[in-house]
Structure 1
Amino acid sequence: MTARPNFLFIITDQHRADHLGCYGNGVVKTPNIDQLAAKGTRFERFYVANPICMPNRASIMTGRMSSLHGARHNGIPLARNHTTFVELLKDAGYRTALIGKSHLQSFTGLPATNVFTAEEGKQAPSASLRDAFKDNRHTEDYELENTRHWETPVASRLSGDFYGFEHVEIAAGHADEASGDYLLWARQQRADFDDLVGPENALSDHRYQAPQAWRTAVPEELYSTSWIAERSQAWLEEQAASDQPFFLQMSFPDPHHPFTPPGKYWGMYSPSDIDLPASFGKGDLPPLLAMRKALEEGTDPRDNQSPFAVTEDEARSIIALTYGMIHMIDDAIGRVMASLESLGLAGNTVIVFTSDHGDYMGDHGLMLKLLLHYQGLVRTPFIWHDPQHPRDADCSTALASSVDIASTILARAGIQEFNGMQGRDLLSTSAPEAVLVEEDSQRTMTGFERPQRVRTVITERYRMSVRHGEDWGELYDLENDPDELVNLHDDPDHAAVRAELTDIMLRRMIELQDRAPLPAYRA
């Protein structure tokens, strides 16, 4: 019997597909990730199930859409009674580890904006009856990633595994403000570490003028990217002598904002070398116009998680700094790949690379994420590198989704899926006629009068997005308009296309309705 493969599953955060050399970017240098694609399969049309961190990470873990696992937006953790594919690997004898960002639970500790509000003149339900779920994920089991209570390593506070991971070392947060187990370690290395982080402690450098950008005083060796690589290398060394297969999830908080590449990575790319997206400043959707107006009037704070408009100079600076963060990640991945080689593990370790979602990065003049499902946000990299089945720079143009990751890994490991998993094995099954993207926001943002509920369907040629409570929608011909500049939603000549896409969306939504739980009887 052939030995079961090991897996190194690499996830970056808020990383567009076209911000890699192997996806056609001629500026950012990613030779190690490109090497994986050169002897593996690069998926050209890989889409998120949800373009927000927690929901899509939960979809990756479960192989299920966010409307089913319930983590619809940031702030709702993945329920501990939902089965993950990592638990199946552990059940089959795999050693499992998570090093880096998890974000299956909330880490900010900030109060929610969407809360139960008692109605005047009515008797409010008791506290335990105010939600459709009595187990509403507000217990101590879901406080494990809350950075406001992170005084000891998460492993010391666990009872059993963490969503199937036996070994857990977490970096919560992002950039030079990352925290969690990583921060505990950093403070052990330098007693004054807290005096190195944040904009108030930034080094003086005015080459990059942009929101949420500062030159961190944290040295490269103490930055979260370096810590994640080093801890991954250490864990791999511990596994080298064992006959048991392993699954290691190595998860980087970067290149998510704020934009703070440390050391030499800060000045590695010049804004003058950055070309703006073809769509920069274009488009007339209501929120685009509102965000541009807010930029002109200076009414948008641009210091939080909400999308915002930028100037050309700001966009070039942010993209250049993001390339520095990606370059650092690629260097870190190269060191871990070298460890696999030196430990004799490379020949039987499948390496998978992806991101949890993308970023506008200047598309239509915007930055960050949320609410508008342009390709830069919903399309992510996905690379499958299997040394037992090498490919010569293979490229798949089939439609694929984050929910497919679990099924593909389990199939390669020879493990049967659980009932209710919705993805497909990307290496042996045919693509669907469409992929579905879900998003449910919990607060209003610039350009939107109400929290948004959006459903997007993407076919081989088109992308259509439908919004609850709005009188406008989106329809783009990706074949003739890859930059999504011409909205055909209300074009009479495309009424038939819109009707066909509506039918496809409805059928796909029916297909993605839950098939769990299994019945106890035939009743």
Structure 2
Amino acid sequence: MKKLLLLAGLLLMVSCQSKKEIAKPNVVFVLTDQWRAQDLGFVGNKQVITPAINTLSKEAVVFTNAISNIPVCTPARASLMTGKYPLSHGLFYNDKPLRSEEICIAEVYKENGYQTGYIGKWHINGHPQGMKNSAGRQLPVTVNRRQGFDYWKVHECTHNYNNSIYYDENDVKHKWEGYDAIAQTKDAVKYMQDNKENPFVLFVSYGPPHAPYNTAPKKYQDLYKDMDIQLRPNVPEDKTEKAKEDIRGYYAHISALDDCIAELQQEIKKLGLDENTIFVFTSDHGDMLYSHSQVKKQKPWEESIHIPFMLKYPAKLKAGTQMTKMFSFPDIMPTLLGMSNLPIPETVQGIDYTGQLLGTEVLDVDAALITCPVPFHQWKYKRGGREYRGVRTEKYTYVHDLNGPWLLYDNLKDPYQMNNVVDQPEFSTIQADLEVKLLAILDKNGDEFLPGEEYMKQWGYNWDSNDSIKQAMN
């Protein structure tokens, strides 16, 4: 009898251990808007106040070369959801609709027993042709357009952070109380509390630190109101005062979000979910903030393309480490599914970094695509926008426009990209190697690098306003 009881006990222990080993991890994905990689305390910015993210960097894997392939809202978010490049999912222009038939990340989790939730900014619903963006962004995202997410407190796109509406699962309109990111965080906390017994995937999509820069709560603005902002050396002198003013507000939004991230992390630990939760912090793209006299995004410089990306998973990943290989938006979906031991759809074009992160594989990835198939809105042709394709490696940035090689920077020797060495004889071998890398990626993706109007025709898109009007490029 004792032997039988011992055997039963051993079988129970093995069963419990097996269940523990195969327990489905939760996923909390924090997506911010327009937060560039350079503006974090732990990377060396001594002015921006980000204690929670500094702590997170010691608990997570920091991806030091995370790139937004097409650094603008709708395209980046569509790549996040589908694991595909822009010319494959078709969202290379803001406010166009992601096809409902696309296989998206939440659908895979849902099919495998997960609760799915999305809170905040969406920006891949689009709207009917002929409708203005300002009107289209006010429409609810109907249930058949939510790409696998069930819990739903979402606005297509707003940056009115203190008067921010959202729609629930039944398309009923509500208003967030106060500064929306803080209210959204409280809602995310409640969602985790309600689903702590179930595996869940929750996306929390904040609007800040995207402009307007001067609308963070006063206590965060006060942190910076008297600070003499230290600008990046590539901000020209005539932009100094405006850059400092905007960056004070930008940092205020960042510090507000840092407190939100602290609250999320505290609740995950309080609920006992920390060990088995994959926690991601990132942004859809960066912000030029007057570097190279440029503003906003879409552009191929570091301030626009280089994004923060941290992945924390205590059950499997060593805290406080770095992943230095190139990593970009189509890679997020397969990597999260891989880390969750879930199947990766054949439609996915990105790479699963699970083996690289676990130390069981060394991926042969040495370049990330950066692209602008169609410049638009804030970087339309009349504002100097141009089509480009390029590669970002661990050391270099190399970019073509339709006329040929345009930019080449050695980012290690020239981190502020102030010396364009394209076509210089002493860099000819390096440029040739980067050209091979770029052409290989374009060939793999079936990207013919056509003028922007060709893609607009192929996808049947209308141009917004006067975006299609060209002028001679300098």
Indicate how the Cα distance of structure 1 residues 21 and 110 shifts in structure 2: closer, same or farther if over 3 A, else same: farther
Counterparts of 2:128 and 2:49, CA distance in 1? 32
Is 2:86 the partner of 1:66?
yes
- Counterpart of 1:146 in structure 2 is 136
SS at match of 1:488: coil
**Aligned residue runs from structure 1 range 7-156, under 5 A:** 7-106=27-126, 111=131, 146-150=136-140, 154=141
Is 2:450 the partner of 1:496?
no
Counterparts of 2:55 and 2:129, CA distance in 1? 39
- Counterpart of 1:181 in structure 2 is 167
Indicate how the Cα distance of structure 1 residues 223 and 184 shifts in structure 2: closer, same or farther if over 3 A, else same: farther
SS at match of 2:332: helix
How far residue 391 of structure 1 moved from its aligned partner, in angstroms, is 2.3
| Equivalent residue in structure 2 for 1:334, among 238, 249, 262 | 262
Counterparts of 1:423 and 1:149, CA distance in 2? 31
| Equivalent residue in structure 1 for 2:338, among 402, 411, 422 | 411
How far residue 425 of structure 1 moved from its aligned partner, in angstroms, is 2.4
- Counterpart of 1:166 in structure 2 is 150
CA contact 2:95–2:123 (8 Å) conserved in 1: no
Indicate how the Cα distance of structure 1 residues 271 and 456 shifts in structure 2: closer, same or farther if over 3 A, else same: farther
- Counterpart of 2:223 in structure 1 is 268
Indicate how the Cα distance of structure 1 residues 107 and 272 shifts in structure 2: closer, same or farther if over 3 A, else same: farther
Is 2:412 the partner of 1:464?
no
How far residue 222 of structure 1 moved from its aligned partner, in angstroms, is 1.0
SS at match of 1:325: helix
Tell me which of the two structures has the higher relative contact order, counting C-alpha pairs closer than 8 angstroms and 6 or more residues apart.
1
Matched residues, number: 414
Counterparts of 1:165 and 1:441, CA distance in 2? 29
Is 2:247 the partner of 1:313?
no
**Aligned residue runs from structure 1 range 378-457, under 5 A:** 378-429=305-356, 430-443=363-376, 448-449=381-382, 452-457=386-391
Counterparts of 2:424 and 2:91, CA distance in 1? 35
Counterparts of 1:181 and 1:21, CA distance in 2? 35
Counterparts of 2:137 and 2:79, CA distance in 1? 23
- Counterpart of 1:237 in structure 2 is 193
- Counterpart of 2:454 in structure 1 is none
Q: Is 25-34 or 38-47 further displaced after alignment?
A: 25-34
SS at match of 1:236: helix
Kindly provide the amino acid, as one letter, of the partner of residue 484 in structure 1: Q
Q: Is 410-419 or 343-352 further displaced after alignment?
A: 343-352
Counterparts of 2:281 and 2:130, CA distance in 1? 31
Kindly provide the amino acid, as one letter, of the partner of residue 181 in structure 1: Y
SS at match of 2:256: helix
Counterparts of 2:399 and 2:132, CA distance in 1? 27
Identity, in percent, stands at: 28
Counterparts of 2:47 and 2:129, CA distance in 1? 38
SS at match of 2:370: strand
Which residues of structure 1 form unaligned runs of 5+?
Answer: 114-142, 188-220, 283-309, 515-523
Is 2:411 the partner of 1:484?
no
- Counterpart of 1:368 in structure 2 is 296
Counterparts of 2:242 and 2:310, CA distance in 1? 31
How far residue 324 of structure 1 moved from its aligned partner, in angstroms, is 0.7
Kindly provide the amino acid, as one letter, of the partner of residue 217 in structure 2: P
SS at match of 1:367: coil
Which residues of structure 2 form unaligned runs of 5+?
Answer: 1-17, 357-362, 448-474
| Equivalent residue in structure 2 for 1:227, among 178, 183, 189 | 183
How far residue 329 of structure 1 moved from its aligned partner, in angstroms, is 0.7
Counterparts of 2:50 and 2:327, CA distance in 1? 23
How far residue 11 of structure 1 moved from its aligned partner, in angstroms, is 0.5
How far residue 230 of structure 1 moved from its aligned partner, in angstroms, is 1.3
Indicate how the Cα distance of structure 1 residues 147 and 76 shifts in structure 2: closer, same or farther if over 3 A, else same: closer
Indicate how the Cα distance of structure 1 residues 148 and 170 shifts in structure 2: closer, same or farther if over 3 A, else same: closer
